[in-house]
Amino acid sequence: MKEFFAEVNGIKICYQIHGSEDGDPVILVHGFGSKKETWIAQISDLSEKYKVISFDNRGAGKSERPNETCTMDMFADDIIGLMDFLDIKKAKAIIGWSLGGMIVQHFLLKYQERVEKAALLLTNYKGVGGHLYAKHRHEGLELLKKDPEAYFWEGAIMSFHQKFRKQMEKDPKKKFYGLWSVEDQIRENTINPPPHNDIDNQAAALETHNTLDRLHEIKIPTLLIAGSHDRLCPKSTMEEMAQRLSNCTLKVMAKAGHGAPHSRAPEVNRIIMDFLKTSLERELESSIRV
């Protein structure tokens, strides 16, 4: 897949476009220490109908890595800058996972008029513990250099329900849903991993994140997807978010961890695609069923 670069807020942002150029735009925002490739399990389904834009946050993947402390507003402003660069007046939806969902909250508090809908996946309204998470990621980077396989399995404990981990352990070559395998993920982790200073910069932004008292300001339709066994962003915090958002749908996935968009890709994608349907599309589907 071809990659492009946009000049946004004085830095280069790496992005990709998937699907039809004529489709309604859907923007994907990845999480802490991650990169655009993390959306492998969603892009295939979403791009069948929509023009999907995935990109590397500043300080991630192939985007420029300015050695400066990040803020949530910086991340949000980069998204609007990328939209302006691509001449996207209004996107069909913006979707964020983990830290990406936190970034989307700040984006919506500044620019919600630029999107029709939003989806927040396995995320939180607060960023408490950013420095502890950064410490864990620093240790993980050292492990990645020495033993990429051990690095993957350590992260799998935090990301996947035990039942799914057993499936991965049984056959690391298996292509789950025809999209990705354990071996694919281990290899992908070694490509453009974030250096230590980028982890610190992202952690600084994470530490300042707390939107609970402002969530009521978000008026557009918003989907929340939580995992019953998410150790990083507990479903209880997403339930609190659902109580504050005025136009919200909450879906809790049973026996799902923080990595549900990978381990439960078909279900996650179906929930998102159903949420993105227009009222007319729903009416047409209902008439066909009748």
Q: Model confidence over 107-157: pLDDT tens digits? A: 999 999 999 999 999 999 998 777 777 888 889 889 999 999 999 999 999
Position 136 scores a pLDDT of 82
Domain ranges, ordered by start, for the chain: 4-127+209-289
Task: Find out whether 191 and 220 touch, Cβ atoms under 8 Å.
Answer: no
Three-state SS across 38-83? HHHHHHHHHCCCCEEEEECCCCCCCCCCCCCCCCHHHHHHHHHHHH
Position 94 scores a pLDDT of 99
Residue 6's CB is within 10 A of a number of other CB atoms, namely 19
Position 135 scores a pLDDT of 85
Q: Minimal CA–CA distance to 50: which of 275, 225, 223, 221?
A: 275
Tell me how many helices (H) and strands (E) the chain has.
Answer: 12, 8
Q: pTM here?
A: 0.95
Could you tell me which CATH class the domain 4-127+209-289 is placed in? alpha beta
Structure tokens at 290: 């009748």
Q: Which residues of the chain have pLDDT under 70?
A: 279-290
Position 133 scores a pLDDT of 74
Position 32 scores a pLDDT of 92
Position 281 scores a pLDDT of 63
